[in-house]
Structure 1
Amino acid sequence: MEAAELEIFKIIASSGDSRGAAFAALGLARKQDFVGAKEKLKEAKEKSLAAHEVQTHLITKETQGDKTEVSLLMVHAQDHLMSSMLARDLIEEMVGMLEEIYQKK
């Protein structure tokens, strides 16, 4: 396996971990465990940042002339990263909304 493929797999793995942590946060919020939910959201952000750092590294290499082949695997990785970031952002808002609702009761 080439180095570029390993980096692409890091994006996929970190993005999946981020998405999983975000959905775990939502589950905890539904159980009114907002401390736990916020910890999971923090974990989701850290995993997302790890994926984003690999993406930034690949982009930087490309701007320096070292092109990464645009393969189906790369497209898949980018899809995972963007969908996990969107899920995390939406779930963060949902956790906040649930916390507000439960505080008013």
Structure 2
Amino acid sequence: MEDHVMMNSIMGLIVHSGNTKSECMEAIQLAKRGNIEQAKEKISLANEALTEAHHAQTALLTEEAKGGEIEVTMLLIHAQDHLMNAITFRDLAQEMIELYERLEGE
């Protein structure tokens, strides 16, 4: 894989994972203030960003599956770490929104 293509994939992982986390944090804050529907909209945006992050990851995985050499660098490890944290953060944000929604109903 050419260096610039790999770097674009890595940076895509980092950027889109970061966007996922940001949207989730906004969603939690909205739910906390009772704006459940807006919070769910933010989660939807987070899911879109997460899909983009997965596309970047898939480009790397596809290249390796085709026999291409993917150099494991600290930047790649950092990008994967961002992705895993974004997924966890999204899952927890969804749970928190559900809890706030239940509290609103009581």
TM interval, shorter chain, is: over 0.9
Partner AA of 1:96 in structure 2: E
- Is the aligned partner of 1:96 residue 2:95? no
User: 1:1-105 counterparts in 2 under 5 A?
Assistant: 2-104=4-106
1:31 is displaced (CA, Å) by 0.6
Equivalent residue pairs, number: 104
Query: How far does residue 9 in structure 1 lie from its aligned partner after superposition?
Result: 0.4
User: How far off its partner does 1:16 sit?
Assistant: 0.1
Instruction: Look up the equivalent residue of 2:90 and give its one-letter code.
Output: R
Instruction: Tell me, yes or no, if the aligned pair for 2:13 and 2:57 is still in contact at 8 Å.
Output: yes
Counterparts of 1:67 and 1:52, CA distance in 2: 19
Identity %: 36
After superposing on structure 2, the runs of 4+ consecutive aligned residues of structure 1 that deviate more than 3 Å are: none
Q: Structure 2 length as normaliser, TM-score?
A: 0.95
Partners of 2:71 and 2:14 in 1: CA distance: 16
Give the drift of 1:53.
1.2
Structure 1 residue 102, shift from structure 2 partner: 1.1
Q: Which runs of 5+ in 1 are unaligned?
A: none
| TM-score normalised by structure 1 residue count | 0.96
Aligned partners of 2:30, 2:66: CA distance in 1, in Å? 44
Q: Is the 8 A contact 2:9 2:59 kept in 1?
A: no
